[in-house]
Amino acid sequence: MIRLFAALAIPPDAGAALLTRQTGLKGARWRPLEALHITLRFIGEIREDVARDLDAELAVIAAQPFEIILEGAGCFGEGDEVDAVWAGVAENPMLRRLARACEGAARRAGLPADPRTYRPHVTLAYVRRAEPADVAAWIVANNLLKSPPIRVDRFGLYSSHLGRDGSSYALEAEYPL
C-alpha cells in the first residue's frame, strides 16, 4: 500500500515568503519549505497496481501552463477544533480545471469520488488545542497575503509518509503541462 496525493509544488521563492508568516501561533507545527504544496486530489492509501493505473491516467492529462496567486489566510475547523492554518489561493479556473482532471483520472483508475469540496490552499501549520483568539489574530495578521504570480507548468504525484513529526513527502512522478 502507498499513500498518495496529486499536487502543485510551491517554488522556493514563493515558499520562502510563506515561511516568514510561520510565527505567532502557539502550538502550531509549522510545515517546512519542502512540504508546502497545493493539493489537487488527495488519493489516500491504495495498492501499488492501482497507483500504476493512476499514474497512467494522470500522465495523459492535457492542460496549458497557467499562473496562480496565493492570497489570504484562513483555518480549517472552528473554535477549539481548529486543526490547520493555511495560505489561500486566488480563484483560478485553470487550477480548478486541473483539479477536476485529477479527480477524473482518479475515478478512471477505479477510486471513489472525493466527497469534499475542493478548496485550494497551502497548509502552513497543523494546530492542536490553539486558543481561538490566537488563531483569529494570526488570520487577521496574515489575511492581506498576496503573492506575485506563480507559473504552473507541471504537477506531481507525491507519496506521503507519516512520522512522529508529521508527514514527509516524496515526488513519485511529475507531469508537464
Question: Of 121, 125, 142, 147, which one is the catalytic site residue?
Answer: 121
| H helix or E strand, kind and range, residue 132 | helix 132-142
Strands (E), 57-149: 66-68, 70-76, 84-89, 121-127
Which of 37, 101, 109, 157 is the catalytic position?
Answer: 37
165: alpha, beta or left? (left if phi > 0; alpha if psi -120 to 50): alpha
Angle subtended at Cα 122 by Cα 116 and Cα 128, rounded to the nearest 5 degrees: 80
Distance CA 176, CA 60 (A): 10
d(CA 101, CA 125) in angstroms, rounded, equals: 28
Q: Is 37 one of the catalytic residues? A: yes
Q: Is 121 labeled as catalytic in the residue annotation?
A: yes
Which residues are known to be catalytic? 37, 121
